[in-house]
Structure 1
Amino acid sequence: MSDFTSLRTVLRSLILESCLYGIALTLFLSTIYFIVTRRTLASNRQTVKHQFTSLVFLGVTILFLATTAHWAVGIYQTFLILPDSGANPTHASGVLDVLSLSTAILAAECLMIYRLWVVWAHNPRIVIFPMCSLSGVLVAAVGISYVFIQTESNAVFLDNTKLKPWITTGFVFSILTSFYSTGFIAFRIVKFNVHQTSNSVLMFFLAILVESAALQTFWLVFTSSTILATSSVEFLTLDAFPVVLCISNLLIHVRVGLGWSRDDQAGSQDATPSFLSYSLQSNP
């Protein structure tokens, strides 16, 4: 890959990631706004402090911080490879890039499994398979980080042949977790709403996509396909992966906040209920 092609690819990835990061930042700030202004996520039994210290919000915060770190490292590395900079990306920045990516993936997987557990009324049997898959993702993430640190090279992440088996293994386990969780969450939503009356089929369809984290699963499959096929857009999809995971999870929280607004206005029956809000209402 020539320097010009490399710089052009990096700039494209940075532009896409920056645009998506702006969306993620807006959603994260909106989530905080809804928590503060609505006082609670579900009922008057829970305080604002309780919501900010809840496992769900902490998980989303970790995911957002990992996404922010990945985006910031991308900006730093881009400026270093500019023709007039006279510098090259350091190995330490590459390690931070890999660690932030791994953290974002693990946080998103944990949030998806937790949502699956909540949707299925805290049934422990439903999360046995995704927990095993998550263990595989964790092992792969540790293996990728260890190999990348030991190489002590500034080589591009995807160009390291020693990492290919670890990357493939991690994405396979992640796909298994995502397909399983998305499928069972979507099935539960459809089953729950089969007797519900709704004036908007589109809102119901969007609710399924948001609640089941279909965006996360789609981008995971898309990224895996480009990497395994060694496509020219593999850098683009992988760099945008953390921020897409962040957006997918934050959409659920923002939807809950917007759902309150509609419920508060003359008791509208049009909004499709969120499983996150139901789970919070059922727990003191």
Structure 2
Amino acid sequence: MYDAIVIGAGPAGLQAALTLGRMHRSTLLLDSGEYRNGTVLHMHNMVGEDGAPPAEFRATARVEIAAYADVEIRDLGAESIVGTDVDGFQVALSDGSTVDAHRVILATGVADDLPPVAGLQDLWGTRAFMCPFCDGHEHADKPIGIVGAAPRAEHLIGLLGRIVGDITVFPVEEAFSDEDTQALEAKGVHVSSAPVVSVEKEADGVRIRTDDDERVVAGIFVAAGSMRQRAPFAADLGVAMLESGSIEIDDFGRTSIPGIFAAGDLAHRASLPGPMASVLLAAAAGQLAAVGIIQSLA
């Protein structure tokens, strides 16, 4: 029986495994090969790794973790989790086998459901983005498009307005109301009168088409869509959830179920309005969850 099984090998899971390994806790790290930033070419706002390719970051982390004999890495996903912190948890793996541990860290992250715009999925992570902290600076003084609902678009305008050049906001599926259009224009941006129909790669930018117009911008920021738990474990286990759709955790990543911890984009404390998509914060959450496990086992 392992001391801990870490499900997910993004920044949160990798850091959790590293911390557990350094404390000589037998650990199994499961890597399904699916990552929220799997299409991203460069990650940003990560001190010491600003601009590094996420795949390179993950590969380096795995090499570092391999130096710790107490950590085993398997390139497998998890299918189910049963058990308690008293008798231990059993995790069914995607190859049909099972493994057991005293503690489990959920680090499977989230998946982004994008608005129904033709071509948007193909550009996701390369020319279409969600996070101004991650990708705003790369569009400094360049024209951009914001696709999505008016209230969330206003929030993005507030963050990106001092960084980028011209901003054009495009509604999705139906035109903005007169009230929303006036509110957006009052912030000094252009507002499309027709919903976006499609987007496509264009030289170093993106061509955005509506029924009556088209425009080329450097990149797109999405102010619509939603995110969801990538894996079913939160629902299957019945852990307490927050209005944001994230798992509720305490400062050390503990969920409402003893022995089950969570870290990364899929969880946050109730004092926060939602998770922040950040490699640095995900890794920090993984470290805290690992410390929580080490404390509980000690």
TM-score calculated relative to the size of structure 2: 0.29
Bigger radius of gyration: 2
Structure with greater helix share of residues: 1
The higher-RCO structure (CA 8 Å, 6+ apart) is: 1
More strand by share: 2
